[in-house]
Homo-oligomer: A and B are copies of this chain.
């Protein structure tokens, strides 16, 4: 344990301002996960927040250097994480007791670069079948710019 703390102190000492921001975010969200505010390490790392109602699921993350690719813009795969999470949350909310929904297909069109401080994916159901669902997902900025549009197929299986 002490070795870990020493390593952390050394990392802090060698940190740029951006590194400190990243470490600060990471610790805050890791501690929140320990307190039950996040269900997975991944959602904690991404500082993911979710809203869900009957029709719509919205998942948001801050647009920080943590999710940037080598071109310093949000990694397309992370937008896929965001969209798939919004879709999956909605799909699972529609499953009968004892069943869950797994993604079988995800198709995303990337339209523009996300430039706002927060990125939100909205999901809504296109087809709500007994064994399969088709869900639409979109990332649209507050300023109206359309960042990505996606469709996903989900298969409904008994929970293990």
**A binding-site residues for B, Cβ under 8 Å:** 1, 4-5, 7-15, 19-20, 22-24, 26-27, 30-31, 34, 39-42, 45, 65-71, 75-78, 80-85, 88, 100, 102-112, 126-127, 131-132, 134, 136, 146, 149, 151, 153, 155
Task: Let me know if B80 and A68 touch, CB within 8 A.
Answer: no
Query: Which residues of B lie under 8 Å from residue A7 when comparing CB positions?
Result: 27, 31
Which residue in chain B gives the minimum CB-CB distance to A135? Answer: B109
With contacts A42-B78, A45-B66, A78-B77 taken as known, whether A127 is within 8 angstroms of B146 at the C-beta atoms is: yes
With contacts A11-B31, A23-B30, A82-B77 taken as known, whether A107 is within 8 angstroms of B110 at the C-beta atoms is: no
Which residue in chain B gives the minimum CB-CB distance to A136? Answer: B149
Contact residue among B12, B26, B105 (Cβ-Cβ distance under 8 Å from A1): B12
Query: Which residues of B lie under 8 Å from residue A67 when comparing CB positions?
Result: 42
Query: Which residues of B lie under 8 Å from residue A65 when comparing CB positions?
Result: 40-41
Query: Which residues of B lie under 8 Å from residue A149 when comparing CB positions?
Result: 126, 134, 136, 151
Task: Let me know if A23 and B41 touch, CB within 8 A.
Answer: no
Query: Which residues of B lie under 8 Å from residue A104 when comparing CB positions?
Result: 109-110, 132, 153
A127 to B109, CA, bound (A): 10
Task: Let me know if A126 and B108 touch, CB within 8 A.
Answer: no
Q: What are 19 A-to-B residue pairs whose CB atoms are below 8 Å?
A: A4-B27, A7-B27, A8-B27, A26-B26, A39-B70, A75-B81, A77-B77, A80-B106, A103-B110, A104-B110, A105-B105, A105-B107, A105-B110, A109-B134, A109-B151, A126-B149, A127-B146, A132-B155, A153-B153
